[in-house]
Amino acid sequence: MGWGASEVARVTHRLTAIKVANLKAKGLYPDGAGLYLRITISGTKSWLFRFSRYGTTRDMGLGPIAAVSLARARELAAEARRERLDGADPIETRKTKRASQSLAEARGTTFRSCAEQLMASQKAGWRNTKHRRQWQSTLSTYVYPVIGDLPVGAIDTTLVMNVLAPFWTVKPQTASRVRGRIEAVLDWAKVRGLREGQNPAQWRGHLNHLLPTRAKVRRIRHHPALPYAELPTFMAEIRCESSIIARALEFVILTAARTGEGRGARWDEIDLKQCIWIVPGERMKSGREHRVPLSPRAVEVLAAMAEVRQSEFVFGGMKQGRPLWEKSLLNLVRVMRPGVTVHGFRSTFRDWAAETTSFPNHVIEMALAHSVSDAVEAAYRRGDLLEKRRKLMEAWATYCGRPASAEVVVLKQRRTT
């Protein structure tokens, strides 16, 4: 049977290893000086140290007998008694030590581990798998070899510069994106208490004093574009092609869309009655839904695709249930016009609209799904100017469909505000 605390004599070493092994009944069995063997109703045996603080009895678990021997339990109890003599609470002292150890271990978490956790947490919010792959690729190529296995709390400005400096002037756009991704990982780590202080990858007020701006390093290289004067001939050639890739390319040009937006168009985004293509925000670079007015020729392209529809995608690829391959449109353009890119047709559209029409700039920019930088203009223009953009896209389709031999004529439109 067990003994109550009031019955404990002021002696120690009452228990022996054999006695501990043979005891079976539920109860508290004193070894002396506050150390007890505790046996539960299920027969589980463990050690505890009992002491009084501010008139309240407190029990401090010392571990099960399977892990803590009688001798070790006596050592732990002796340590606890010394803390009591110093006026400390051994239970609170242990909690503080464990918290400090956990914090030290957490701050030893590597940059790579933090980056992977951040990417996992942001997975649902990213626009597409390509964006996620770019994160993984750039971190694996440029960051992990330098700081990937270092504690995230130890990353400082010198280490960030060690990552960025070797390719900052060679690949400024990539380097700028890598810097932003390092900054995001370190911010994530700070919020979770894994590091402290200023973010060493911060640009404004920090790295901008150590590294040249992208504009000073290298002028931005624009996507090679076909001159708009040559577009009618190109479109005539495209229309002679019967492939799905050719129809997808024509649709992308007619709508001035980005390649990924057009290539991944789904039938549930198309409203043929209203002649509108509604691209959801998760597929847009801006993250906002974009309504695209469809010209008669764009509708004709969709009607042709509807006749051969095989999946949810307007322009289905070789694999069932998948859109066209990412490089398919670019490969076709490279064959037809070496040096020109698919994205460059957006510049072709922009040049044509600016130089041959009188459509307002904000209408043109909205057709390209660009953000409006001017605050006054943005405040004035709250809608998406769908009908004004419809006139613009119809004029564009008319121009694209001109006979290839026709002389280019400037199409000055009556100004619409």
Domain of 283, CATH number, reads 1.10.443.10
From 191, 217, 243, the end of a domain falls on 217
User: How many folded domains does the chain comprise?
Assistant: 3
Q: Are residues 337 and 388 in the same domain?
A: yes
222 inside domain: no
Q: Are residues 167 and 248 in the same domain?
A: no
Residues of the chain with pLDDT under 50: 1-9, 220, 374-380, 406-417
Q: Is residue 337 part of a domain?
A: yes
Asked whether residue 415 is assigned to any structural domain, the reply reads no
**CATH code for position 137:** 1.10.150.130
Contacts within 8 Å (CB) and 24+ apart, 378-387? 384/290, 384/291, 386/276, 386/291, 386/293, 387/293
Q: What is the pLDDT of residues 125-157, one digit of tens each?
A: 666 677 788 888 899 999 999 999 888 888 999
Looking at the structure, tell me whether residues 274 and 308 fall in a common domain: yes
Residues 188 and 329 placed together within one structural domain of the fold = no
> What is the tens place of the pLDDT at every residue in 331-352?
999 999 998 999 999 999 999 9
Q: What pLDDT is stored for residue 125 in this prediction?
A: 64
- Choosing from 63, 78, 106, the residue where a domain stops is 106
3-state secondary structure the chain: CCCCHHHCCCCCCCCCHHHHHHCCCCEEEEEECCEEEEECCCCCEEEEEEEEECCEEEEEEEEECCCCCHHHHHHHHHHHHHHHHCCCCHHHHHHHHHHHHHHHHHHCCEHHHHHHHHHHHHHHHCCCHHHHHHHHHHHHHHHHHHHHCCEHHHCCHHHHHHHHHHHHCCCHHHHHHHHHHHHHHHHHHHHCCCCCCCCCCCCCCCHHHCCCCHHHHCCCCCCCCCCHHHHHHHHHHHHCCCCHHHHHHHHHHHHCCCHHHHHCCEHHHEECCCCEEEECHHHCCCCCCEEEECCHHHHHHHHHHHCCCCCCECCECCCCCCECCCCHHHHHHHHHCCCCCCCHHHHHHHHHHHHHCCCCHHHHHHHCCCCCCCHHHHHHCCCCCHHHHHHHHHHHHHHHCCCCCCCCCCCCCCCCC
Length in residues, the chain: 417
Query: What is the four-CA torsion angle of 310, 316, 317, 318, rounded to 10 degrees?
Result: 10
232 shares its domain with 309: yes
30: CATH: 3.30.160.390
Same domain flag for 334 and 316 = yes
Do the domain assignments include residue 56? yes
- Which residues, at least 6 apart from 74, have a Cβ–Cβ distance to it below 8 Å? 12, 13, 31, 35
Same domain, 99 and 129: no
Residues 245 and 326 in one domain: yes
In this structure, are 130 and 251 located in the same domain?
Answer: no
Residue type, 126: W
For 82, the domain range is 5-106
